[in-house]
Structure 1
Amino acid sequence: MNRRAFLSSTSAAAAAALAPQLSQAAPSSPARMKPAICAYSFRKELQDKSMTYEDLITKCVEWNIDGIDMTVYWFPNTSAEWLHNLRRLAYRNGVSIYSIAVRTELTKPNQADRDAEVASIARWVDVADMLGATHIRVFGGTVPKTTTEEQAVPWVVECLKRGADIAAAKGIILGLENHGGICTRADRILEMVTKVNSPWVGINLDTGNFKDHAFEQMQQCLPHAVNVQMKAEMTYDDGKTGPQDWDRVVKLIGGGGYKGYLSLEYEAKEPSAVAVPKGLAEIRKLTHKYSV
C-alpha cells in the first residue's frame, strides 16, 4: 500500500470516526517527558541471574534515570515482602517504579479462558499496587486461526473493560501495546481502546513495533498514549530495518503533548551493558530538548 492510500484508509478514516474521543484524550499543554529504562533491556542478565532487579535500581542511580518499567517475567517471587523491599529500595534511591509489564492473551474464544486472563490481570494489579506502580503494560494477543480479527475485537474489549474496573479500584492504568497480533495496526488498537471507553485504559506505545508507515501510526496512537517504550531500531517505509531516528521520534511524541516516561527497551545486538547507558543519555538529552 502506498503512502497516499495508507493515509486515506487509516489515518483520515480513523481520525474522522474517532474525532470526539481523540479530542477528549488530546493534551492541552506542552509535553513533559522523562527518561526511564525497561527491565527487558537486561533480559539475558535477569534470566541467567547475573543481574537482579535490585541491581537495576542501582543502575538507574548510576545513569541518572528517573523511572523504571519492571518487566515481571523474571521476578523471583511476588511475595509482599520481596515487592515491598524492592519498592523501599527504589524510593530510597529516588527511582520511580512507575510501571510493570506483563503477558496477556485477550483474544481467546472461550469465555473460561478469558475469565482466566482477567483473573491474571487482577493478580498483576495487586503486584503493581504493592510496588507503587501506576501503569501495567498488557498485550492484546494473537488472533486464532479459526477466527477473524473482527470476531476477536469484542473479546479484547470485554477483557479490557473488566480489567479496567479492577485496575481503577487501585488507581492503576492498563496500557495496550502495539505488539503484533490483533494490535499490529494503529487503527485496530484505537478501535479497541475507544470501545473500552475508560480513563483507566490507554496505549502503551512501542516505537519499534509498527512495520510500515511507523511515524504515521505512532502519531495516530499519541492521543491515547499512557507509556512510551523506545527502541533502538525500527522498520522504515522502504521495508528496511535500521537505527531509529530518535530525534524525529521524540519530536513527534513531544509535539503530541505527551506527558510521561520514555522507557528504553533495548533489543539490538550491541551488549546491553554498553548500549543502554549511551542510549539513556541520548534519550535524556532529547527529553530536555522537546519538553517544557
Structure 2
Amino acid sequence: MKLHRRDLLTAAGAASLSTLASASVATAKPTTATSRPNRIAVSTYSYWRYRDDSKLTIEKCIDLASEAGFDGVEILHVQMQDTSPAALQKIKQRAFINGLDLCGFSTHQSFVFPGAEQRQENIQHTIDCIEMAYAMGIPTIRVNTGRWGTSKDFDTLMANKGIEPRLDGYTDEDAFGWVIDSLEKCLPAAERCGVTLGLENHWGIGRNADAVVRIIDAIDSPWLQATLDTGNFLENQYEQYKIMAPKAVFVQAKTYFGGGTWYTLEIDYDRVAKILRGVNYQGYISLEFEGQEAHETAIPKSLETLRQAFA
C-alpha cells in the first residue's frame, strides 16, 4: 500500500509550524518523575502468534483487546489482510469505537544486504509502513536492523540463540554501515509523517543493546529511538535493559504462559518497571504473549501481571 505523496506533503505543509515544533521535542521525556501508571497495550501478535489455529483478523484482535481491558493496540503488519487506504481507516475507526489507542506498528524489514537494490526495497517497504502508520494515527513503528540470513530457518536461528554466521567476505562493520545508511534514508518520511522509528533488539546486528544504541547514537536523530523488547535478550537481560531504557520510546513485554514457542524466559516485571521508572519512561508497555497456552486465559493473566508491575 502506498499513500499519495502529494496528499502527505499537503498535510505536512498545512501543519508545518506544529511539525517543526514537534521535531525538537519528538522524544523528549518529562524532566520530573511522575507516579502515573504506564498504559498497557497488546500486540495483535499475542492473539495471532503465527499459529494456524489463531489467525485472527486485526479487527477481531481489537475487539478482544477492548474486552480484556487494555488501553491500546499494537498492530503486526504481516498479520494485515488488507492495507488499502479504506482498510486502514476501518482499523482506525474500530479502535476508536472500542476506546483504544493505536499506539504501535510492528513491521519486518532487513538492511543487512550487500546489494544496494535489496536494501532499497527494504527502505521503500519501511517508508510505506511509516505512511500506513501515519494514516492510522500511529505514532511509532518498530524497525529492525536485519540479519545475515545464513540460518536454515527461524527455528534454527532460535536454536543457536539468535547467532548466525556472517556472509562470506563481509564483516559486522559492513552491516552496521548498511543499516545506518538505510535508516537515514527513512528519516525524512518519519519526520514528515510524525512517526518515530523504534529500533528493536531483534536478532541479527541488533541482537545486543550496545549495538542498537551504537546505531541510534551514530544517526543522532529525534526520529530514531529504541523499541525495547524484554524477551529478546538471552544473556545479561537486566543489564541490557538498563542500556536501552534511556532510548526507549516503546516497550514490548513478553510473557510465556504454557511454555514459550521457541524458549521461555523468566522476566521479573517489577524489576523491569523499576529500571524504566529510573529513566522516567512514560510510554506504553505492549504485551507480546508468546506462549503455548490459549490466548483466552493467558492474555488476561498477562495483563494482570503487567498492570501490577507498572502501576
Shorter chain as normaliser: what TM range? Answer: 0.7 to 0.9
The partner residue of 1:43 within 34, 41, 48 is 48
Q: 1:188 to 1:156 in 2, by over 3 A?
A: same
Of 97, 106, 112, 1:101 maps to 106
Distance in 2, Cα, partners of 1:164 & 1:259: 23
Over 3 Å counting, the alpha-carbon distance change for 1:155 and 1:242 in structure 2 is: closer
Cα distance change on mapping 1:106 and 1:80 into 2, 3 Å: same
Aligned residue in 2 for 1:80: 85
Q: Deviations over 1:34-75 (max 9, x none)?
A: 111011111248865652211221122212211111011121
User: 1:208, 1:231 within 8 Å by CA — same for their partners in 2?
Assistant: yes
Q: Is the 8 A contact 1:70 1:99 kept in 2?
A: yes
Structure with the larger RCO, 1 or 2 (CA within 8 Å, 6+ apart): 1
Aligned to 1:126: 131
Q: What is the match of residue 194 of structure 2? A: 171
Alignment match, 2:161: none
Runs of 4+ in 1 over 3 A off after TM superposition: 24-27, 44-50
- The AA in structure 1 aligned to 2:31 is S
- Counterpart of 2:24 in structure 1 is none
CA positional deviation for 1:76? 1.0
Q: In structure 1, what is the Cα distance between the partners aligned to 2:30 and 2:235?
A: 26
Q: Give the alignment partner of residue 61 of structure 1, picking from 47, 66, 82.
A: 66
Structure 1 gap segments, 5+ residues each: 1-23, 234-239
1:26-37 equivalences under 5 Å are 28-30=31-33, 32=36, 33-37=38-42
Superposed CA deviations along residues 6-39 of structure 1, whole A, max 9, x for unmatched, are xxxxxxxxxxxxxxxxxx9775222552111011
Give yes or no for the alignment of 1:281 onto 2:304: yes
Question: What's the counterpart of residue 198 of structure 1?
Answer: 221
- Closer/same/farther in 2, CA of residues 27 and 183 from structure 1, 3 Å limit: farther
Aligned residues: 259
Does residue 1:145 correspond to 2:167, yes or no?
yes
Q: Distance in 2 between matches of 1:75 and 1:124?
A: 12
Give the RMSD, CA atoms, in angstroms.
2.0
Tell me the CA shift for residue 246 of structure 1: 1.4
Identity value in percent: 32
Structure 2: how far apart are the matches of 1:61 and 1:166?
31
Distance in 2, Cα, partners of 1:28 & 1:105: 35
Residue identity in the other structure for 2:32: S
- Pick aligned residue for 1:182 from 194, 198, 205: 205
Question: 1:18 is matched with which residue?
Answer: none
Q: Does 1:223 align with 2:275?
A: no
Write the deviation string for residues 173-217 of structure 1: whole angstroms up to 9, x where unpaired: 111110111011111111101111110111110011111111011
What whole-Å deviation, never above 9, does each CA across 1:208-258 have from its counterpart, x for those lacking one?
11111110111000111011000125xxxxxx9543211111221122211
Tell me, in whole angstroms, the C-alpha distance in 2 between the residues paired with 1:99 and 1:111: 29
CA-to-partner distance for each residue in 1:104-138, whole Å, 9 max, x for gaps? 10111111211111111111111111111111101
Tell whether the 8 Å contact from 2:48 to 2:55 is kept in structure 1 after alignment: no
Give 2:94's aligned residue.
89
Q: Provide the C-alpha distance between the structure 2 equivalents of 1:106 and 1:152, rounded to a whole number of angstroms.
A: 8
The runs of 5 or more residues in structure 2 that have no matched partner are 1-26, 149-165, 257-262
Counterpart-to-counterpart distance in 2, 1:273 and 1:67: 18
TM norm structure 2: 0.78
Aligned mates of 2:51, 2:291 — CA distance in 1? 17
From the superposition, tell whether residues 272 and 248 of structure 1 become closer, same or farther in structure 2 (CA, over 3 Å).
Answer: same
CA distance in 1, matches of 2:189, 2:73: 23
